[in-house]
Structure 1
Amino acid sequence: MAYDMADLCWKLSVCFFCSQVVSGRVEEARYIAAVYEHESILSPDPTALVDRRSALQLMGRNLDIYEQQVVAAARQGAQIIVFPEDGIHGFNFTRRSIYPYLDFVPHSRAVKWNPCREMYLFNDTEVLQRLSCMALNNKIFLVANLGTKQPCAHTDPHCPPDGRYQFNTNVAFDDAGMLVATYRKHNLYFEYAFDAPPEPDYTLFETPFAGKFGMFTCFDILFFEPAVKLIRQYNVKQVVYPTAWMNQLPLLSAVEFQQAFATAFNINILAANIHHPTLGMTGSGIYTPVKSFIYHNMESYGGKLIVAEIPVITADYKTSLESNERFGENLYQSCKTFTSTSMDDQVCFNEGQETPARVLEKGMEQLPPQFYAEMMYDNFTFVPVWGEKGELQVCSNTLCCYLNYKRAVLTDELYALGVFDGLHTVHGTYYVQACALVKCGGLSFSTCGQEVTDASALIDFQLWGNMSTPYIFPLLLTSGITLDFADHMGWKNHHYFMSKNRTSSGLLTAALYGRWYEKD
């Protein structure tokens, strides 16, 4: 392929900064962010019909807690704070019963409005007014989630029969209390009180300390629209993410997938989850591609404020998803697209070096038994991980997963390598390609795929698969629902690879979680 001089110089400059790009190192700008995991005060009967005054009283109790946390975050220097989904009004409403809890919010970007200073511009905006005043009084950007309403005409083909839309809405205020962005949740998770917007919102807002932020909510993170399209089309590098996430091990605990998403797209995520351990809801954090500040607590009650200083990830930093030999031009020519997530390291492979798959196939004289077990409501094909070291392969449909492993000490724990290549159809429909090394719930094959929270085995591993999608989310979860980071990951000869020498604590899950959006 021929290049003109300008194009060639640009590509050389990309490779020159390859190690910084891949590691996510940013030294020139930082900001202080806060997220609050909130134990919301819930309605004792969310299906009961109440008046607006009663609804405001309940929401006011949650807003009182929000205000305390905004003050605390601002005192620690936070420039932006994010609150969780459903934190103000709660959940499990019907369409009728939630109506008194809904504020009116103008979704037009043409409307310039400061609810704290212009309280009587619109009716039914009491919640927005309080949030706006919190931002103004503490000079902090503020992101929160609330229920909103919008009247619609019957000439609108999407207008519900009752003549109004009801949205699950995120709002963002600047440090002067101005409403600068709204986002209406697109992928609703059994939320019968709300409508999905007729078209996806692609919501951005600007800050003086970190540039533009994107915004989406909870279940949206698993789908192309709008989350992935927002990030890629608008080159978003900072994301605010209110969520009410119910943890599902071993592949979709909140902190596990939030970190994987930040790493995969080379972005910062400010994720605020609701805190209701009896419902499996916990897990918030401030995530960079290579570091996290997290909170996961299934044992105790009460909220948790997280404040951390993080680097600004700028638009010229390329992600591992963009250095893919199969799905796009390789920008890192000299590094052969095999990237490293360590801050000071870069892995490059020689031209003549064999691919991991070919090396593995040479020593497979004795294959361990294959078995099937349910994991994440999907029928995974597994092989057991036995002994101190070994090389394994397991396949399903077009996907083959490979594992090279070593452990210095054998523990009384069963691990297995699993593969799934198919349409997930429980609690949502979406296509998954997954290669997963997991600790089983017991010593029998039938326990593989069960939820496990503690482990003691320290394992060195290389895990890879011939994934058919470029959207791979690297999961690395350790004992006690803590996070670790791979030493190296990336694409090589049509395989996605992740390696780790000695996890920081016992290994729960090491997985390549691929989303094949086109097959949903």
Structure 2
Amino acid sequence: SSCIRPLNTGRFLLHQLPFRSEPARLENHNSQLTEIKVMWLLLTAVLCFNAAHAFKAAVYEHVQSNATSIETAVSENLQAYWWAAGNASSEGAHIIVFPQDGIVYRLRDATDVARWTEDIPDIGVTFCDSQKLSILSELSCMARDNNIYVVANLIDRKTCETGDPSCPLGRVKYLNTNVAFDRNGRLVARYHFTIFENFVYPVHPYELAVFDTDFGAKVGIFISFDALFPESSLLVKKHNITLGVMSSWWFDELPGWYSVGVQQAWSVHHGVPLLAAGIQRLKTGSLGSGIYAGLHGPLNYTYSPDGKSKLLLADLSTTTSVNPRYAGDELHPARRFLKQVDVSDYAAQLLERPAGNSSVCHGDFCCTLSYETQILKDRFVVLARNGTRNVGAFMRLGVQQCILAVCLPGEYALCTNFTTRSSTKFAKLQFKAKFAANAVFPVVASDELALIPGDKWQFETTSTNVSTLTLKENGKDEDILHIALYARLYHADLFIEGFDSYESQYLQIQHL
């Protein structure tokens, strides 16, 4: 660790403390030493926090090659990665994260999968210049030649172990896998995804992938929908990571269940910085990447359906950003691609007055909103849900949800569709509920799904699982679009057998 060690306070004089302007008048020597120890522990904690986060990081939002030849597409994707890694390194970044399926994707059948997968060995191996493992070799050399940690996603190929009941007929499993390389090009982590895809199998038992770095961060790796499951939380609770890394291909849904909203929610809930790199693919409603500083919110993020790849950088020694939005983002795109969540079985209540209290209950689970605005320029609904909600067609997640959302214009009955635009500012806003679990995640969005900076709202959860989200005084200038609190009830999760690929599930999306 790069944290400083506590000094021997028995010989440490009060006037040596640099953060004290003058000696305190203490009643006796013992109380003097007690104060010194407390102050030193506080200073140590601050310096340890800064040391653990004093580095620059990069994430790359990638638009995959549209070449019809898989070989050409893989080559072009890797060229884009080389460009990003080189530029990130030249800007002083210590680590770069790439998205899910950014190199190899659109595999048509088992033959394609067999051709474009590699048997990824255990950690500790350097692949640079290997003739047998071409993609791993490229990534290894990329890390070594640019003196940067690299995290990327590809497909691992593993021969089934004897007696494995989940083994396919071909006796070979293909696993959605993240790999991490250090500055020498050495493989330092390998993580297998746990959710089934076409041709790609989940791994059992669940794996946790953690590695230490030479810049002081302890890194935990997960992939996309892992953010919704308890195992990604174990990286924090069990391994005490100081940095989360997420490769993603997300599919956006309204209200509130969209890429950068979920990314920020994970970072806020765990109080741990997160590097999240996403694929941009408009027809599946996929985009959004960012660098987040835990409770302090985003340092740099992008959410722009412009068909462009983007390299994002941020200094993790800072905890705030005056404007965390990527400088090149299109803030008001002509259209967005999003899937609408079916809320027909949610408890709902429209906001009819510009100020008041709204309590909405789904069974014995209740969401309470206190609010005040000069005028409701938009039509808002408060939603409550206690039960499950579908994720595509492959899973039902156990949830308790409280949502404040703007209805799609033109819906004059109780709204069931939602917009991305808002023009209502609140002088007061507080959302509160008592949940059945402590895994509660906040999503706070303004007009066009922009993330509201972390210094403009406050989120708290008590020991009895009462969660409260409050808009601060300096948040009154934000056009509120969504406020959501969702708790995960992991014990109620239900997998659905016999589904198609993620992409096919999300082709029925709306253009907003």
Give the Å deviation of 1:235: 1.6
Does 2:127 correspond to 1:115?
yes
2:434 corresponds to which residue? 466
2:483 corresponds to which residue? 510
Match of 1:186, SS state, is coil
Amino acid at match of 1:463: F
Amino acid at match of 1:260: A
1:351 corresponds to which residue? none
Q: What is the CA–CA distance in structure 2 between the aligned matches of 1:447 and 1:398, rounded to whole Å?
A: 22
Amino acid at match of 1:381: A
1:109-154 alpha-carbon deviations (Å, 9 max, x no partner): 4xx211005x15xx3x100000110100000000000112112245
Match of 2:345, SS state, is strand
Q: What is the CA–CA distance in structure 2 between the aligned matches of 1:245 and 1:25, rounded to whole Å?
A: 34
1:80 corresponds to which residue? 95
Map 1:308-457 onto structure 2 (within 5 A).
308-311=314-317, 375-376=341-342, 379-411=345-377, 413-427=378-392, 428-442=395-409, 444=411, 446=413, 448-457=415-424
Does 2:176 correspond to 1:152?
no
Change (3 A) 1:401 1:258: same
Amino acid at match of 1:448: C
Give the Å deviation of 1:495: 2.0
1:335-364 alpha-carbon deviations (Å, 9 max, x no partner): xxxxxx999xxxxxxxxxxxxxxxxxxxxx
Amino acid at match of 2:484: A
Contact 1:42 1:90 in 2 (8 A): no
Give the Å deviation of 1:425: 3.5
Match of 1:452, SS state, is coil
Change (3 A) 1:272 1:396: same
Give the Å deviation of 1:103: 1.5
1:333 corresponds to which residue? none
1:372-391 alpha-carbon deviations (Å, 9 max, x no partner): xx845562111111222101
Change (3 A) 1:456 1:75: same
Does 2:104 correspond to 1:136?
no
1:190-246 alpha-carbon deviations (Å, 9 max, x no partner): x1120111211100011111321000101111111x212222111223111000111
Give the Å deviation of 1:494: 4.8
Contact 1:213 1:238 in 2 (8 A): yes
Change (3 A) 1:505 1:197: same
Q: TM-score, normalised by structure 2?
A: 0.78
Does 2:475 correspond to 1:498?
no
Give the Å deviation of 1:43: 5.6
Q: What is the CA–CA distance in structure 2 between the aligned matches of 1:408 and 1:400, rounded to whole Å?
A: 26
Amino acid at match of 1:422: G
Map 1:476-491 onto structure 2 (within 5 A).
476-484=444-452, 485=454, 487-491=457-461
Q: What is the CA–CA distance in structure 2 between the aligned matches of 1:381 and 1:466, rounded to whole Å?
A: 16
Change (3 A) 1:376 1:234: farther
Q: TM-score, normalised by structure 1?
A: 0.77
Unaligned runs of 5+ in 1: 1-8, 45-53, 314-340, 344-373
Change (3 A) 1:377 1:507: same
Map 1:90-129 onto structure 2 (within 5 A).
90-91=105-106, 93-106=108-121, 108-109=122-123, 112-116=124-128, 119-120=130-131, 123=132, 125-129=133-137
Give the Å deviation of 1:473: 0.3
Q: What is the CA–CA distance in structure 2 between the aligned matches of 1:295 and 1:187, rounded to whole Å?
A: 26
Contact 1:478 1:503 in 2 (8 A): no
Match of 2:418, SS state, is coil
Q: What is the CA–CA distance in structure 2 between the aligned matches of 1:471 and 1:182, rounded to whole Å?
A: 26
Q: What is the CA–CA distance in structure 1 between the aligned matches of 2:383 and 2:116, rounded to whole Å?
A: 45
Give the Å deviation of 1:503: 4.6
Contact 2:61 2:280 in 1 (8 A): yes
Match of 1:490, SS state, is strand
Give the Å deviation of 1:450: 2.1
Q: What is the CA–CA distance in structure 2 between the aligned matches of 1:453 and 1:447, rounded to whole Å?
A: 18
Q: What is the CA–CA distance in structure 2 between the aligned matches of 1:205 and 1:27, rounded to whole Å?
A: 19
Change (3 A) 1:13 1:423: farther
Q: What is the CA–CA distance in structure 2 between the aligned matches of 1:514 and 1:143, rounded to whole Å?
A: 29
Give the Å deviation of 1:505: 2.8
Structure 2 residue corresponding to 1:201, chosen from 200, 207, 226:
207
Match of 1:114, SS state, is coil
Amino acid at match of 1:475: V
Does 2:275 correspond to 1:270?
yes
Contact 1:55 1:100 in 2 (8 A): no
Q: What is the CA–CA distance in structure 1 between the aligned matches of 2:368 and 2:309, rounded to whole Å?
A: 41
Contact 1:95 1:192 in 2 (8 A): no
Give the Å deviation of 1:430: 1.1
Match of 2:143, SS state, is helix
Cα RMSD after superposing both structures? 2.8
Amino acid at match of 2:128: C
Does 2:290 correspond to 1:256?
no
Match of 1:103, SS state, is coil
Amino acid at match of 2:483: A
Q: What is the CA–CA distance in structure 1 between the aligned matches of 2:485 and 2:223, rounded to whole Å?
A: 23
Give the Å deviation of 1:454: 1.2
Contact 2:253 2:341 in 1 (8 A): no
Unaligned runs of 5+ in 2: 1-33, 323-339, 494-512
Q: What is the CA–CA distance in structure 2 between the aligned matches of 1:491 and 1:386, rounded to whole Å?
A: 29
1:218 corresponds to which residue? 224
Contact 1:95 1:193 in 2 (8 A): yes
Contact 1:246 1:279 in 2 (8 A): yes
Change (3 A) 1:378 1:388: closer
Does 2:74 correspond to 1:59?
yes
